[in-house]
Structure 1
Amino acid sequence: MKIVVTGGAGFLGSRLIDALLAEGGVDEIVSLDQVACPVADPRVTSLVGSIDDAAAVERALGAGADVVYHLAAVLSGQSESEFDTGLHINVDATRLILERCRSLPRPPRFVFTSSLAVFGGEMPEVVPETMATMPQSSYGCGKAIGELLVSEYSRKGFVDGLTCRLPTICVRPGKPNSAASSFVSGIIREPVAGLASDCPVPLDTRLWISSPGAAIANLVRAGRLDSAELGLHRVLDLPGITVTPEAMLESLERLVGAEARALVSLTSDQRVIDIVCSWPGAFEVSRARSLGFVADADFDAVLQQYLGEARPA
């Protein structure tokens, strides 16, 4: 089995590659990213290039692929501030990859990672699977267009597509990124390391989140799910849990200590509020659950997962 992962050098991409290798049955995984993939394994081919470069996409897909995971994207903050760049990478490059898949001898499973940012406006407490998309950010708009492209290329038989709308992933290690939701990890990651952090949204903001472990398990599942189980509707809201910054900070205090929580300052950033507070805070995910996708038990479990990685025994 050959698998191609765009964004394979990134946080989720490299973890996905590790998980796919551990699952077995993989002959080759090709990572296409702007930097080298950190996974050292003879089955991994690391290609350095951009997803908007037709030659780089050609090298990655070669004569074919069984599964393509399209993770690479310009994130929400940068998409909002750099409109043309966001649409070019998130829309034009996505179509470039789909077009190359269209020319392959056999349609690959095409797993596209989308976002809850495709929603906006007035929403119910729990978003149903049939909720119409109404993005209130450039990032959400690009992802919504990508979803339609994947569904259309699947309808035409060019790919065997599945869009996975990921919850906000928490806790991401490393440094803050350009995502408007970067603070969701920052208000945990930095205090655990003894560093100050800001919460730029109201403490009662409802957030739909997933741990990295649950997200990766679900992406692996997406690549191996039988097409017959999917039917015509090729978009899934992946399971997550609803939390607020207040509940997250309570968990931080409970599991790490009051001194860690004291490092988080309450601020207000209207740019972040406008984006993040337009996103829904809970989803109806019974279909995804019935297909074998999973969620974390609660935020304590999410934080414990991160602490186990940040503070290995």
Structure 2
Amino acid sequence: MRVLIIGGGGFLGQKIARSLAASGTLRGEPITAMDLADLAAPPPMDAPFEVACHAVDISDATAVSALFSSRPDVIFHLAAIVSGQAEAEFDLGMNVNLFGSIHVFEAARALGTNPVVVFTSSCAVYGGEIPEKIEDYTQLNPQTSYGAQKAAAELLITDYSRKGFLDGRAPRLPTVTIRPGKANAAASSFMSSIFREPLQGEEAVCPVDPDYALWYASPRVTVANLIRCAEIPAASFGENRGFALPGRVGTIGEMIEAMRKVAGDEPVSRIRWEKDQRILDIVTGWRPHINPVKARALGLAADASFEDNVRYFLEDDIRR
């Protein structure tokens, strides 16, 4: 079993790699080798099998084709231009999020082995004139370039799967919080920074009101769900390979109070409230109320509470 993680230098890619290194197996088989690829080569890591690290720009079809010369059996495709940057730089978002994904799908198809491809989509595919509560059958109606690019790639991975070119799974991620590291260009970045920075003794700015609601999941649960997505039999997905992952809905105010319960008043005092219209224009189009019946039937799970998310960050990711 050979595994390829595209976006393997990012925090989810690194967590998936470490989890697989710890277990040593995937889909009931021992992992014999793993390739980690990102725009800059990911750092080397210890594992009970060979790990190779590559610098690859997925907007370059030739580079992607060369990456697949290792003939992976399971591919995690996590690489993307994030929401805020994709909105500001349309061509870059298209070249990576859509055309780059097509290059990955075509390289998987060229193997001729029907490899498993887990493509991380997003709840940003929802929006516009749809019901307040989203069901599995709710139409995709993204209101950002990032969401449109993810939705288009979803449709393609379902069709490539129907044709037998690859065995695709396109879970739509909730907002993943609390993310480790530094803030990025995602419009949702503040949804981690307003917890991460205060818990690490730094100030953070919240650009939305306390009653802003979001659909969220912790990194720990997200990683477990993504690995589980690679292991579910193809027949279990039915005719649509895109589906919402389980998450929880909460307002920013409720989540801050959960942090207070776990970590006390001091982190909360480090949050400043300053509205940012650029961010508001993007995130207010996202829908927080999602009913992931299909994902739950597939055995995927949500966090128990945001208090747990805070505890997971303190255990797994806080800067020591």
Using the size of structure 1 for normalisation, the TM-score is: 0.96
Which residue of structure 1 lines up, in the alignment, with residue 254 of structure 2? 247
One of 129, 134, 144 as aligned partner of 2:141: 134
Distance 1:76 1:261, change over 3 A: same
Which residue of structure 2 lines up, in the alignment, with residue 93 of structure 1? 100
Does residue 165 of structure 2 align to residue 155 of structure 1?
Answer: no
Does residue 90 of structure 2 align to residue 83 of structure 1?
Answer: yes
Which residue of structure 1 lines up, in the alignment, with residue 27 of structure 2? none
Does residue 40 of structure 2 align to residue 35 of structure 1?
Answer: yes
Give SS of 2:52's match.
strand
| Number of aligned residue pairs | 313
* Larger displacement relative to structure 2 (211-220 or 271-280): 271-280
Give the AA of the match of 1:82. E
Q: How do 1:1-313 and structure 2 match up within 5 A?
A: 1-24=1-24, 25-41=30-46, 42-62=49-69, 64-310=71-317
Using the size of structure 2 for normalisation, the TM-score is: 0.94
Q: Which consecutive residues of structure 1, in runs of 5 or more, have no partner in the other structure?
A: none
Q: Give 1:56 deviation, angstroms.
A: 2.4
For residues 144 and 112 of structure 2, what CA distance do their matches in structure 1 show? Answer: 37
Give runs of ≥4 in structure 1 deviating > 6 Å: none
Distance 1:28 1:63, change over 3 A: closer
For residues 251 and 81 of structure 2, what CA distance do their matches in structure 1 show? Answer: 26
User: In the TM superposition, what whole-angstrom CA distance separates every residue of 1:128-186 from its partner, at most 9, and x where no partner exists?
Assistant: 00011111111101101110111111111111111010011101111101100000001
Give SS of 2:259's match.
helix
User: In the TM superposition, what whole-angstrom CA distance separates every residue of 1:220-279 from its partner, at most 9, and x where no partner exists?
Assistant: 001111112112121120001111110111112221121211111111111111111111
For residues 72 and 244 of structure 1, what CA distance do their matches in structure 2 show? Answer: 28
Q: Give 1:39 deviation, angstroms.
A: 4.5
Give the AA of the match of 1:190. E
Give the AA of the match of 2:242. V
For residues 230 and 54 of structure 1, what CA distance do their matches in structure 2 show? Answer: 29
Q: Which consecutive residues of structure 2, in runs of 5 or more, have no partner in the other structure?
A: 25-29
Give SS of 2:289's match.
coil
For residues 241 and 235 of structure 2, what CA distance do their matches in structure 1 show? Answer: 11
For residues 105 and 30 of structure 1, what CA distance do their matches in structure 2 show? Answer: 19
Q: Percent identity?
A: 41
For residues 318 and 142 of structure 2, what CA distance do their matches in structure 1 show? Answer: 38
For residues 31 and 296 of structure 2, what CA distance do their matches in structure 1 show? Answer: 26
Give SS of 2:285's match.
coil
Give the AA of the match of 1:32. A
User: In the TM superposition, what whole-angstrom CA distance separates every residue of 1:46-88 from its partner, at most 9, and x where no partner exists?
Assistant: 0112112233212321152211111000000110110110011
Give SS of 1:62's match.
helix
For residues 112 and 69 of structure 2, what CA distance do their matches in structure 1 show? Answer: 11
Give the AA of the match of 2:262. L
Equivalent pair of 1:32/1:51 in contact (CA under 8 Å): no
